[in-house]
């Protein structure tokens, strides 16, 4: 018989669970940077594992020396990657000093006047609409230096994250066997096989996901590079690589890439000989980027999300949206891998649950 005491206890337990979940979400939100560092360090250690094994077996390096050598190779690779940005930074800094926002606004006003004249010749009265909206008075290109400054501020925190990731990765690789042994000892005997099976499946699915993501970025890089080379944008190789790399941020990344390429293209055409071509070239580049992103959204992205992690595109979209609202951009980046891991564990431990069966039917 259900009594008022049982109902009250049930309500209290439910409230306790809700409060605990809310506290956990708040806590994870506060330490999201640490979670990302751990996640990146784990990925780095997985990528470095074959190199460490090669150094130990083929070159007879001691384990610690092999780990240090591997990390040193990664640091050299990163340093080489950063050096690619030096010409871009120098060029754009010089162009930024030539930035004449008043002249740029005048060019846009002239372009709008030309567009109005074209439509007027075709009996389309847009001049009145533009005048009523007073668009030209609202144009302000002073956001460009502010955008560059914001980008520099973001990059300034890169050193802290890099140091943290390298430090954590070192101990992940150095103490891998000890951590594996300790982890196995902590597993309950009744569920050990299920947990190990889940880890193997997660490793397989995430490997496919990251390989697909690298392939997607490579395809975007090639398409972006072709667009930039066609229209003669300076430092096309570096700009194409940066904007393609931004695709690791689902949905938001392509928008950021478009804004960035607009800024860099306009800054690259700040010379007196090319400033007149600035707007038309930038427009063509944006159209080219948009076509590349349409191809990516309709071919590459569904292929990666649907086939690699065995999830429906709408399902992935909702997961990324929720993660972005709760944890920001970092949450969007790690949403798919973490969600995939949760699905694998749920299928292994709750195979009879109807909701779990529905979500994991393709795993």
Measured CA to CA, the distance from residue 145 to residue 151 in angstroms comes to: 10
Measured CA to CA, the distance from residue 16 to residue 200 in angstroms comes to: 34
Q: What is the pTM of this model?
A: 0.61
CB 333 within 8 A of CB 182: no
**Mean pLDDT of the chain, nearest integer:** 76
Residue 180: exposed, middle, or buried by beta-carbon count in 10 A (0-12, 13-18, 19+)? Answer: exposed
Residue 329 has pLDDT above 60, yes or no: yes
Phi/psi of residue 273, each to 5°? -75, -30
Nearest partner of 10 among 2, 22, 21, judged by Cα:
2
Three-class secondary structure of residue 57 per DSSP: helix
Residue 275 has pLDDT above 80, yes or no: no
pLDDT of residue 226: 92
Residue 209 has pLDDT above 70, yes or no: yes
Higher pLDDT, 42 or 144: 42
Long-range contacts of 197-206 (CB under 8 A, 24+ apart): 197/348, 198/341, 198/344, 198/345, 198/348, 198/349, 201/344, 201/348, 201/363, 202/340, 202/341, 202/344, 202/345, 203/46, 205/308, 205/309, 205/310, 205/340, 205/344, 205/363, 206/309, 206/337, 206/340, 206/341
Of 119-128, 200-209, 225-234, 302-311, the poorest mean pLDDT is in 119-128
Higher pLDDT, 291 or 145: 291
The mean pLDDT value for 241-258 works out to 84
Measured CA to CA, the distance from residue 274 to residue 264 in angstroms comes to: 14
Nearest partner of 171 among 283, 38, 16, 354, judged by Cα:
38
Measured CA to CA, the distance from residue 2 to residue 7 in angstroms comes to: 7
For the chain, what are the domain ranges? Answer: 38-100+161-186
Higher pLDDT, 98 or 238: 238
Measured CA to CA, the distance from residue 154 to residue 329 in angstroms comes to: 13
Tokens of 11: 């309500």
CB 217 within 8 A of CB 308: no
Residue 102 has pLDDT above 70, yes or no: no
pLDDT of residue 6: 75
Measured CA to CA, the distance from residue 152 to residue 146 in angstroms comes to: 10
Higher pLDDT, 290 or 278: 290
């Amino acid at each position: 018989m259900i009594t008022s005491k049982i109902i009250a206890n049930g309500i209290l337990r439910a409230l306790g669970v809700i409060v605990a979940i809310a506290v956990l979400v708040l806590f994870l939100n506060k330490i999201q940077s640490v979670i990302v560092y751990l996640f990146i360090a784990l990925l780095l250690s997985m990528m470095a594992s074959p190199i460490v094994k090669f150094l130990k077996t083929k070159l007879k390096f001691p384990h610690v020396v092999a780990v240090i050598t591997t990390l040193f190779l990664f640091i050299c690779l990163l340093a080489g990657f950063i050096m690619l940005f030096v010409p871009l930074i120098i060029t754009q800094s010089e162009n930024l000093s030539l930035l004449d926002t008043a002249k740029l606004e005048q060019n846009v006003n002239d372009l709008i006047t030309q567009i109005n004249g074209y439509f007027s010749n075709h009996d389309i009265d847009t001049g009145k609409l533009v005048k009523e909206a007073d668009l030209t008075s609202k144009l302000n290109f002073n956001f460009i230096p502010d955008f560059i400054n914001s980008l520099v501020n973001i990059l300034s925190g890169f050193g802290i994250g890099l140091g943290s990731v390298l430090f954590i990765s070192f101990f992940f690789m150095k103490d891998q066997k000890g951590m594996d042994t300790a982890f196995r000892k902590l597993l309950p005997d009744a569920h050990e096989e299920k947990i190990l099976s889940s880890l193997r499946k997660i490793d397989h699915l995430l490997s496919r996901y990251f390989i697909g993501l690298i392939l997607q970025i490579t395809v975007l890089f090639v398409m972006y590079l072709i667009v930039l080379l066609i229209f003669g944008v300076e430092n096309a190789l570096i700009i194409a690589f940066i904007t393609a790399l931004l695709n690791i941020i689902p949905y938001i990344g392509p928008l950021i890439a478009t804004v960035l390429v607009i800024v860099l293209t306009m800054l690259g055409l700040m010379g007196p000989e090319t400033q007149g071509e600035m707007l038309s070239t930038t427009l063509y580049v944006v159209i080219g980027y948009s076509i590349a992103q349409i191809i990516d959204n309709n071919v590459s992205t569904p292929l990666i999300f649907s086939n690699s992690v065995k999830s429906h595109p709408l399902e992935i979209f909702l997961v990324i949206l929720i993660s972005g609202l709760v944890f920001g951009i970092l949450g969007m980046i790690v949403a798919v891998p973490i969600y995939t891991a949760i699905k694998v564990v749920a299928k292994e431990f709750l195979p009879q649950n109807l909701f779990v069966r529905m979500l994991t039917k393709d795993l």
